Amino acid sequence: MFEFRINQVMSLKNDLFSGLTVALALVPEAVAFAFVAGVDPLVGLYAAFMVGLITACIGGRPGMISGATGALAVVMVSLVAEHGVEYLFFAVILMGLIQITAGLLKLGKFIRIVPYPVMLGFVNGLAIVIFLAQLRQFGEAGESGWLSGTFLEDSIIDVAWLQGSDLHLLLGLVLFTMLIIHYLPRLTSALPASLVAIASVTGLVWWFGLDTKVVGDVASISGGLPQFHFPSAPLSIETLLIILPYSIILAAIGLIESLLTLRLIDEITETRGHGNQECIGQGVANTVTGFFGGMGGCAMIGQSMINVNSGGRGRFSGISAALFLLLFILIASPLIEQIPLAALIGVMFIVVISTFEWSSFRIIGKVPLSDALILITVSAVTVATDLAVAVVVGVIISALVFSWEHAKYIRIESKEDHKGSTVYAVTGPLFFGSVASFLERFDPKKDNDDVVIDFARSRVADHSGLEAIDSLAERYVNAGKKLHLVHLSQDCRRLLKRAGNLVEVNVIEDPKYFVAKDNAS
């Protein structure tokens, strides 16, 4: 029903209006994530401004929006609770330095190993998380939820729901917002539908004096310019040992979420971002943010999708979003605080509908069972824990499935050549999953005195494969027979030197394997 209509023309006007729309949606998100982390709302708003501005200027994906995120906030909360916000600032600085290092080492390319089912699970899981985060706005502040006394008490779905006319009004305004966003593009594309919807609902509430929750009910966003602030925590080895585990986790989560969001925006816009440059951009942004009293951040899939939907394509969309947010903090806070939360909830619900891969329901019965399991698992773990854990779990399951399946594909054929040697031709990779099948195919007692194993259509992939060859060679030596290996790649031959005199390698016929260099920035 709902889908993004992408305008392929990049323009400053589109970037400017989409930036304004994103900035309006950033306010309650940044405030909410600051509360989750246990810090002042301005700490979240400053992070959204600085991370958003710097990554928009030097990051690797124009049009992608970065800022304070919930995935990072849930990690920060224990550090803030135990040691205070000054330690958080140090952790954010170190987080940024780790991300810069990852970019310089060109580790961003490893996002390519994330399989498509994991990507689908990531997108669906984040859509569900964004949806559940909006449910809090339908509850009474300070009231116990309907799940009190259960293991889900104080969870994101434990909401003390509004009652009667308050709930009906909020639902009506949310629906009105969604309808404007859906139908307005059919009439005109002169202005972003999300921006028109927010303005319309705000005007409706003001004109009729409707009593509904507004941004100001969540927190005050009034403040000054971010000030340079060197963290006042002790500069010592003890402090480093405290913040290092948090910084590593924050850096990993930030890069995974940013690079996966980059891939998603790449697919939608049919362009290509630069993962390693994005790592450096995120790192610089977080390092600077830590010195200016911000909580750090990473790419935000919800706001990035709002930006794309509103026509934002260039760097100016992210820059304008950050500058509008700063403008809200400095001089426009009284106006922004009057925006109904219902309008922003409606915008985020549209993001949820558009982000969720509804096609996964259609294909789930058509893809291999393992892929369906990975998709569902990653979605569930994203909701239950966090993105980094979900992606790692998904990649591990995918790797195990791949290993199990490819362990079946090793094939060994034997024959006797004109010299009277027994020749085995190996087809398929030799790795930890296939070594058992590999070793079962040889019979040193029955083979001729001279045995040749041809690896022209195979490759020794890991240490387990080397150990299998070592073990096999020893069996042939004990049987009084000689073993030759031919058509091994250069890297395999180097690794096999550890086998010493047990294995004789024929180097004359071995081909050379060349590895393409990664030129991605």
Query: N- to C-terminal Cα distance for the chain?
Result: 38
Residue 432: closest CA among 405, 463, 471: 463
Separation CA 212–CA 28 (nearest Å): 15
Q: How far apart are CA 457 and CA 9, in angstroms?
A: 49
Contact in structure between 68 and 51 (CB atoms under 8 Å):
yes
Examine residue 397 and state whether it is found in any structural domain, yes or no: no
Answer yes or no: do 433 and 368 share one domain: no
Tell me which residue has tokens 């928009």.
56
Quick check: 131 and 352 in contact, CB under 8 A?
yes
In a domain, 515, yes or no: no
Domain that holds residue 17: 12-147+159-378
Q: 333 and 438 in one domain?
A: no
Tokens of 413: 């054929």
Within 108-192, residue ranges assigned H as helices are 116-135, 164-187
Instruction: Say yes or no: 478 and 363 in one domain.
Output: no
As for how many domains the chain has, the answer is 2
**Residue 232 covered by a domain:** yes
232 and 124 in one domain? yes
CB 421 within 8 A of CB 450: yes
Final residue belonging to a domain, choices 326, 361, 378:
378
Token representation of residue 394:
């998904």
Q: How far apart are CA 65 and CA 29, in angstroms?
A: 13
428 within domain boundaries = yes
Q: How far apart are CA 300 and CA 65, in angstroms?
A: 6
Residue 231 domain-assigned? yes
Q: What's the one-letter identity of residue 430?
A: L
Do 293 and 440 reside in the same domain of the chain? no
Domain shared by 453 and 501, yes or no? yes
CATH number at residue 461: 3.30.750.24
pTM for the predicted model, two decimal places? 0.69
pLDDT truncated to tens, each residue of the chain (521 aa)?
A: 334 444 444 588 889 989 998 998 888 778 767 877 878 889 999 999 999 999 999 999 999 999 988 778 878 888 998 999 999 999 999 999 999 999 999 988 777 778 888 888 888 887 888 788 788 778 765 455 545 544 445 555 556 677 888 889 999 999 999 999 889 888 887 777 888 898 999 999 999 999 898 888 877 788 889 999 999 989 999 999 999 999 998 998 899 889 988 988 988 888 888 999 999 999 999 999 999 999 999 998 888 988 988 888 889 999 999 999 999 999 988 888 898 989 888 888 887 888 788 888 888 888 888 889 999 999 888 888 777 788 888 888 988 888 777 776 788 888 888 788 889 999 888 888 888 888 888 888 888 888 888 888 888 877 788 788 878 888 888 888 888 888 877 767 666 665 555 555 444 455 454 444 455 44
User: Rounded to the nearest 10 degrees, how much is the dihedral formed by the CA atoms of 105, 111, 113, 118?
Assistant: 160
Q: Is residue 371 located within the same domain as residue 419?
A: no
* 194 and 56 both lie in a single domain: yes
